[in-house]
Amino acid sequence: MRQQNPVYDLAVSFAGEQRPYVEQVVEACKGRGLTVLYDRDRSIDLWGRNLIIGFRGAYNGDQARYVAPFLSREYLAKPYPMDEFRAMLVPAIENPDDYILPVTFGDVVVPADLLSPAIGLLRCEDYTPQALAQAFEQRIRGPVTSAPPSLRMPGTTSRAFSKYRELEQSFRYLTEQFKVAAAQMEGSEFVCTVRNSESELKVRVEHRGTTLYGIDIQLGGMGRDDVLNFALSRSGWLNGSNGSNGTAAPVFDRSTGAVRLEMHDYSVLGTTFEVRSYSKEELFEALWNRLVDQVQQITDSH
């Protein structure tokens, strides 16, 4: 009965004449991460012990998942390797197709009473040690399947996404950034004033008491409650914002997993209608740069 959790993936059995080749196979197997029972690795463990009895236990199904006898004329003629081979035959009766992985050297003929002619063999002449190690790995671990190609999958919207919450966060962000920018304008020839309520933000830029630029940003507008509404105004604080020069609605970008603001711009950032996508940070930068450009253009024309 083979043990359920053997220590080694593979145990090798061979005649001394084939050691140079087998040793290369063993090293190549170890390089592939296989655990291999090899006599020279057990020199200290078997020091002073009966080698025949010691190695017989290595091939009777107790220590290795598979055994590989390297069959040659010398192998069949020597008592030590043949004792190992006979030890393999006991567990092979239980699993005849899943234990012994025979490899032959030269024109050796294995008697039918030792190994059925129906059993598949590999010939050392057909494999370099490295190629044979690869064959052992494939037999022990199974065929290596290539990773499936990375295919595009349908995107999904985050369960946590809320357009109203994102709208409020974007509105608060724009309010805070305009206040910070207005404070930085102090000391110049221009005065930037920012007023806001819970649902409306008004930004005005003056030069010596004359309003040069104004923009109102509202939570909701144009009959909708799920957009930011932008209205350009240089009329003053009390006139309110009627109409719209553009709107921005929060959307979830499935390709990046991020929230964006889809801007339908009629004349806030340009002179022709465009639909663009911004993060709230990008939108503030675009709005502020547009403000500066407009103020600069007006002052340059006077």
pLDDT digits (tens, 9 = 90+) for 117-146: 888 899 999 999 999 999 999 998 876 566
Question: Do 46 and 109 share a domain, yes or no?
Answer: yes
Is 153 within a domain?
A: no
pLDDT digits (tens, 9 = 90+) for 37-62: 998 887 666 666 655 666 666 777 77
Is 156 within a domain?
A: no
Residue finishing a domain among 141, 175, 195: 141
**d(C-alpha 187, C-alpha 180), whole Å:** 14
Question: Do 17 and 92 share a domain, yes or no?
Answer: yes
**Residue 225 lies in domain:** 163-300
Question: Do 91 and 169 share a domain, yes or no?
Answer: no
pLDDT at res. 285: 96
pLDDT digits (tens, 9 = 90+) for 204-227: 999 988 999 999 999 988 788 999
Angle, CA of 181, 182 and 184, to the nearest 5°: 65
What is the count of structural domains for the chain?
Answer: 2
Question: Do 125 and 180 share a domain, yes or no?
Answer: no
Question: Do 29 and 122 share a domain, yes or no?
Answer: yes
Q: Which of 275, 279, 254, 255 is nearest to 263 (CA)?
A: 275
Is 104 within a domain?
A: yes
Is 157 within a domain?
A: no
Question: Do 98 and 205 share a domain, yes or no?
Answer: no
Is 56 within a domain?
A: yes
Q: Domain with 134 in it: what CATH number?
A: 3.40.50.10140
- Asked whether residue 190 carries a pLDDT value surpassing 50, the answer given is yes
Question: Do 182 and 62 share a domain, yes or no?
Answer: no
Is 154 within a domain?
A: no
Question: What phi and psi, each to the nearest 5 degrees, are found at residue 185?
Answer: -80, -15
Question: Do 21 and 135 share a domain, yes or no?
Answer: yes
**b/e code 33-64 from CB counts within 10 Å (16+ = b):** ebebbbbeeeeeeeeeeeeeeebbebbbbebb
**d(C-alpha 58, C-alpha 6), whole Å:** 10
Question: Do 128 and 192 share a domain, yes or no?
Answer: no
The pTM (predicted TM-score) of the whole model is 0.50
Question: Do 207 and 136 share a domain, yes or no?
Answer: no
Terminal-to-terminal C-alpha distance of the chain: 101
Residue finishing a domain among 108, 141, 174: 141
Question: Do 22 and 103 share a domain, yes or no?
Answer: yes
Is 2 within a domain?
A: no
Is 85 within a domain?
A: yes
pLDDT digits (tens, 9 = 90+) for 63-102: 888 999 999 999 999 988 898 888 888 776 665 557 889 9
Q: Which of 73, 74, 40, 77 is nearest to 58 (CA)?
A: 40
Q: Which of 30, 31, 34, 33 is nearest to 8 (CA)?
A: 34
Question: Do 198 and 241 share a domain, yes or no?
Answer: yes
